[in-house]
Every structure is written in structure tokens, then in C-alpha cells.
Amino acid sequence: MSTQPAGLRLIGAGLPRTGTLTQKEALEMLGFAPCYHWVDVLADLDRVELWDKAMDGEVSWPEIFGASQATVDWPGGYFWRELMDAYPDAKVLLSVRDPQKWEPSFRETIWDMGHGETLLNLLSSARSLVDPRWKRYVEFVERMFWSPQGSFADGGETPAQLIAQFERHNELVKATVPSERLLVWEVTEGWGPLCEFLGVDVPSEPMPHANDRETFLGRVIDGALAAIAASRGQSLAPSA
């Protein structure tokens, strides 16, 4: 049995809503498994504590990533520069998308979860009242994107603001990562460029197509409803 090299072999620097769940599934098909993704945080909210510490400079990447051979989406992508230094042999994947299509996708998920009179925000806020782990997660997301140290510190009230920050992020990655270490890629380009970059064979199976938006909304909405229902059940339980 062959042994896999320790540590990350691929660092995803593309922003959320650029087909990152499809990337996760594709990379795992190519042998870069497991691939760390935001869904791993949503599935285990205790992970937020480690990521909060990382933002404070107290970080142990092996503790965070474990056996993962790749990471895509945030929160890993937030630390793309730090991860480049920690894993100097890892390649960097910058996933991109048409900014005009990316903006509403990002707004209707990540932005709406924490801002405005939206169902997503109202449900998330209600869950925060009864679920301390979710409250910490929401505060972490706010910090990661909208705080002074966040990726989108200039705000996101308008489409123009989000698009400008999206484009600025992509240009920074392209200007920073050595060209031989970087692939700028859109999932619609398919297996070819990705497999050539990674030095692996093109699979016979088609490129997977995961619905990031529905997965994200389902996790947030279903999780909120379950937490609220559980809290209501506890409040109605007879006292001993």
C-alpha cells in the first residue's frame, strides 16, 4: 500500500461561491483526500475555536487539518499566504468566477446570514440565542469577512463593493504566488487544466457538480430549525 505525503499538497485560495464544493469532490476523486472545506466547520462547530486562535496568531496547522491533503473554500482560503509558507511544496489553486454571477451568490448566502432582514439572518440570529457554539461561529464569520482584519473589511452593502473586493483578492493572489506554483481555474474548464497542474491522470468519470448554495443554505436553515426546536423542547420539559 502506498503512503500519502504528510501535510497539505494543495491550497485553495479562491473565495467562497466559486464552485468550491465541486472542487472538494473533484480533488478527492484525484487522490487529494480528505479535502478540507467550510462544510467541515459547519459539521463540527467545535472547530471554530481553533480557527479563532488562528486569527489571533495561535495556530497549529496539523491540529486543524489533520490528515487533509488539500483545503478549498474558507476558512482555509483566508490563510492562503500563511499556508504557502507553512507548506512550501504545496501548489495553490485560485478558483475564479464571473464577478456578476459571483456577487449575488455570495450575497444570498454569506452576507445574508449576518446582515439585513432576511430569513437566513433571522434564523441564524434565533439559533445564536439558544446555541452558544453557533453564536461563536457567526462571530467568527463576521470577523473573518467584515472586521478590520477581514477579507472584505470595506463592507458589502452594495454589489460594487463586493465585486471590487472579489477582484482585488484575485489580483493579489495572482501577484503574490509564483506562476509555477499557481493555477487560476474555473470549474467550467473541467478536468484538463486541473489534472495537468497536479500531474495526475484525467478520470474517466465526469467532473462532479455540487450545489454549494443549496448545501450552505440547507446546513444553516436546517441547523437553525433543529436547534430552535430542541431548545423549545427543553423549555417545555417538566422540572424534576
Give the domain CATH number at 206: 3.40.50.300
92 in Cβ contact with 182 (< 8 Å): yes
Binning the chain into helix, strand and coil, the percentages to the nearest 5 are 60, 5, 35
Lowest mean pLDDT among 41-45, 73-77, 142-146, 230-234: 230-234
Whether 116 maps to a domain, the answer reads: yes
Asked, for residue 155, whether it belongs to a domain, the answer is yes
pLDDT for 215 beyond 50: yes
Mean pLDDT of the chain: 90
CA angle 61, 54, 78 (to 5 degrees): 90
- Give the model's pLDDT for residue 84: 97
Residue 239 in domain: no
Q: What is the pLDDT of residues 43-86, one digit of tens each?
A: 999 999 999 999 999 989 999 999 999 999 999 999 999 999 99
Assigned domain for 237 exists? no
Give yes or no for a contact between 224 and 124, defined as CB atoms under 8 angstroms apart. yes
Q: How many domains does the chain have?
A: 1
pLDDT of residue 240: 43
| Residue 234, pLDDT score | 56
Higher pLDDT, 221 or 35: 35
Domain presence at residue 5: no
Q: How far is CA 107 from the centre of its chain?
A: 15
Give the three-state DSSP class for 93.
strand
* Domain around 227: 10-232
Q: What is the DSSP letter of 17?
A: T
Q: Give yes or no for a contact between 177 and 23, defined as CB atoms under 8 angstroms apart.
A: no
**Cβ-contact 146, 152 below 8 angstroms:** yes
Report residue 238's pLDDT band, with 50, 70 and 90 as the boundaries.
very low
What is the chain's Cα-based Rg?
Answer: 19
Q: Is 178 exposed, middle or buried (0-12, 13-18, 19+ CB in 10 A)?
A: exposed
> What's the average model confidence in pLDDT over 176-200?
97
- Dihedrals φ, ψ of 71, to 5°? -140, 135
Residue 19, domain member (yes or no): yes
Are 190 and 2 within 8 A, CB to CB? no
The C-alpha atoms of residue 88 and residue 104 are separated, in whole angstroms, by 35
φ, ψ for residue 163, nearest 5 deg = -65, -40
238 found inside a domain: no
Do residues 221 and 123 make contact, with C-beta atoms less than 8 angstroms apart?
A: yes
pLDDT at 3: 38
Instruction: Tell me, yes or no, whether 88 lies in a domain.
Output: yes
Q: Which band of pLDDT confidence, cut at 50, 70 and 90, is reported for residue 233?
A: low
Rounded Cα gap, residues 22 and 72, in angstroms: 10
pLDDT category, 114, cuts 50, 70, 90? Answer: confident
The dihedral region occupied by 116, where left means phi > 0, alpha psi between -120 and 50, and beta the remainder, is left
Q: Are 15 and 175 in contact (CB under 8 A)?
A: no
Give me the pLDDT at residue 212, please: 66
